[in-house]
Amino acid sequence: MELPEAFRSRTKEILGDEYEAFEKALQGVSPTSIRRNEHKLNLCPRGENVPWCKSGYYLSDRPSFTMDPLIHGGAYYVQEASSMFLEQVFAQLVEQDSPRVLDLCAAPGGKSTHLASLLNGHGLLVSNEVIRTRAKILSENLTKWGAPNVVVTNNDPKDFSHLKGFFDLVFVDAPCSGEGMFRKDPQSITEWTVDNVKLCSERQRRIVADIFPTLKSEGILVYSTCTYNREEDEENVKWMAENLGAEVLPLNLDGSWGVSTSGLGYHFYPHKTKGEGFFLAVLRKTEDESEFRIRFSKEKENNKIAVPDVVRTWLTHPDNYKIWSNADSFYAIPAKQEAYIKALKAELNVIQSGVSLGCLKGKDVLPDESLALSWIINKRAFETVDLEWKDAIAFLKKDNILLPDSGKGWVMVQFEGVPLGFAKNLGNRVNNAYPQEWRIRMEVDASKYAPFFSFEK
């Protein structure tokens, strides 16, 4: 790995005598880590726990994740271990039972799925991505994760300007120069320049300045990058504190974690922690901000259709959700968040909210894929069948499968107890309802399937 000389000299100024160990670590193998979805899988993988994240684990090697049906069912997420550190913000600083949270730069979904787990179905998570194609990937990953209290938006930070004082917490994982990804993504080395660092720093300040008014008084801003330099990290945090009305908050650290602190934030260096380069700072808003007030408007009933009774039986606690229709489709959102979700739809480009339950097709009600993957499905409402690996992969490729031992009608297919989706058994054949845009396209190689969870038969 040939590092730019300007990067080497600048980083030496920061690390001093530690620089040689740092550069040696960059020549090593990037560790592989996952975070388990505790709503879907009770088993822990074979591997070392990520010390700052209770559901995070290191794997001994990197398997072919596409060959594992469990990842398609949202049973775990492949995420860089350092970025799982945001869990400590929740554990140490979040006191609200039902906070409203914004993940501003959310794609592809690592931090948002983590935040969804930390919220555990309470409060509201708004996951935003400015680039449309990446927003679709974000939406898919959050659908597979299954949390019901999530809204996905596709907006520029400035579009949130009317939501002053709306959020209790705002997470800004800012677009950066990518220094912390040099080991994992060598291409980022060729794109690094001192000028780009400066441009990134200026853009990061604009992003934070645009979104800061949406934070309540005493609300918490979490700012993170995957860089080491002071311009994008400490100097930006100092600028936020001095110009936006905020104070830097400390976190309690276990010394064995190897996390470094400068007093303005926390650095993860690959020679000291098992993970890639990462920086995180926490600030509390000190200036007064007017509280967001919901403007209620009478809901139009045009084109509304009655929700079939059977749809309510598909949910474990239907009274906890507002079930509404849009044309011939049905959706569920947490009843306590209904007014806030309506407010978001009035201001933003919302591409997903809550759980899509199904739709009418003639006299039939067809269950939706997102229902099968959600935390709120009543499994007793459907016949379920556990597929062997070969058939599970065939289902995920949207190939033909057979269910000779199942009754006719809708069947929820699973792998090791984790739902993958729906199929309609017609007796002599099966209609595979897995979404066409999600199907596995690569060639299947059974030798590449190496399960790292221990299942007992």
The model's pLDDT over 407-448, given as tens digits with 9 standing for 90+, comes to: 999 999 999 999 999 999 998 899 999 999 999 999 988 888
Average pLDDT in the chain:
94
Q: Give pLDDT, residue 339.
A: 95
Q: Give pLDDT, residue 42.
A: 87
Determine phi and psi for 371, rounding to 5 degrees: -65, -45
Q: Give pLDDT, residue 217.
A: 95
Angstrom distance (rounded) from CA 44 to CA 70: 13
> Does 298 score more than 60 pLDDT?
no
Angstrom distance (rounded) from CA 297 to CA 340: 12
> Does 302 score more than 60 pLDDT?
no
- Tokens 């659908």 belong to 143
Tokens found for residue 339: 């007014």
Q: What's the whole-number mean pLDDT along residues 16-35?
A: 96
SS3 357: strand
DSSP secondary structure code for residue 449 in this structure: -
SS3 452: coil
**Digit-coded pLDDT (tens) for 105-160:** 999 999 999 999 999 999 999 999 999 999 999 999 999 999 999 999 999 999 99
Any catalytic annotation for residue 226?
yes
**Digit-coded pLDDT (tens) for 209-242:** 999 999 999 999 999 999 999 999 999 999 999 9
**Digit-coded pLDDT (tens) for 64-115:** 999 999 999 999 999 999 999 999 999 999 998 999 999 999 999 999 999 9
Q: Give pLDDT, residue 455.
A: 57
Question: How many other C-beta atoms can be found within 10 angstroms of the C-beta atom of residue 73?
Answer: 26
Q: Give pLDDT, residue 434.
A: 97
Q: Give pLDDT, residue 457.
A: 40
Angstrom distance (rounded) from CA 136 to CA 151: 13
Nearest alpha carbon to residue 418 among 44, 45, 35, 76: 76
Q: Strand 246-249 to strand 215-225: parallel, antiparallel, or no bridges (unpaired)?
A: unpaired
Identify whether the C-beta of residue 245 lies closer than 8 Å to the C-beta of residue 285.
yes
Angstrom distance (rounded) from CA 155 to CA 148: 21
Percent of the chain with pLDDT over 70: 97
Nearest alpha carbon to residue 401 among 417, 415, 416: 415
